[in-house]
Amino acid sequence: MSKTPTNLKSLGQKVALPASPDEAELERVANPHSDVNYVARFTAPEFTCLCPVTGQPDFAHLVIDYVPDKWLVESKSLKLYLVSFRNHGAFHEETTVRIGKDLVALLKPRWLRIGGYFFPRGGMPIDVFWQTGKPPEGCWIPDQGVAPYRGRG
């Protein structure tokens, strides 16, 4: 059984919510199974950010899949990072791709994809998808499982 790293700042600690993504600190831990390819998935069905023009809230269902190499993202730091977008104004595309790029910079994974499924505002849903390239050969990549927006029909 692996022991908990002692250098983490948020895990097991009471920490304040970061005011912005620039203030949030993503943390990583060693991957105990770096000898094999597998997919780790994080789902944030209640992600929120702000429209940079109107300041109104935008809501999304985020799905992050990655094939780790040497590092895993520490989940509490990821939650705090994602919550930091609640008061951050940015378009859906900017927000989704930034999250993906920030995770890639931290983890240097073998592969990563993110799907941002934004709920409609002004009558139009916007879905944003980004990935680093092709997944490793022979790695099972499940569908993200988020149905396209169908309105009330």
Instruction: Give the whole-angstrom CA distance, residue 146 versus residue 141.
Output: 14
Share of the chain above pLDDT 70, in %: 92
Residues 46 and 57 sit within 8 Å (Cβ to Cβ): no
Q: What is the mean pLDDT of residues 98-116?
A: 98
5 within a domain of the structure (yes/no): no
11 within a domain of the structure (yes/no): no
Instruction: Give the whole-angstrom CA distance, residue 107 versus residue 68.
Output: 7
Give me the pLDDT at residue 12, please: 67
Does position 4 have pLDDT exceeding 90, yes or no?
no
10 within a domain of the structure (yes/no): no
Give me the pLDDT at residue 1, please: 44
Told to judge if 51 belongs to the known catalytic residues of this protein, a careful annotator would answer yes
Model confidence band, residue 3 (pLDDT cutoffs 50, 70, 90): low
Catalytic: which of 22, 35, 49, 58? 58
Share of the chain above pLDDT 90, in %: 79
Q: How many domains are there within the chain? A: 1
Query: What is the pTM for the complete model shown?
Result: 0.91
Give the residue, 14 or 30, on which the prediction is more confident: 30
Instruction: Give the whole-angstrom CA distance, residue 43 versus residue 10.
Output: 20
Instruction: Give the whole-angstrom CA distance, residue 48 versus residue 58.
Output: 6
Q: What is the mean pLDDT of residues 42-48?
A: 97
CATH of the domain at 59: 3.30.1130.10
Burial letters for 1-25: b for 16+ Cβ neighbours within 10 Å, e otherwise?
eeeeeeebebbeeeeeebeebeebe
141 within a domain of the structure (yes/no): no
Catalytic: which of 51, 69, 102, 127? 51
Model confidence band, residue 129 (pLDDT cutoffs 50, 70, 90): very high
Told to judge if 58 belongs to the known catalytic residues of this protein, a careful annotator would answer yes
18 within a domain of the structure (yes/no): no
Question: What is the extent of the structural domain holding 73?
Answer: 28-121
Does position 38 have pLDDT exceeding 80, yes or no?
yes
19 within a domain of the structure (yes/no): no
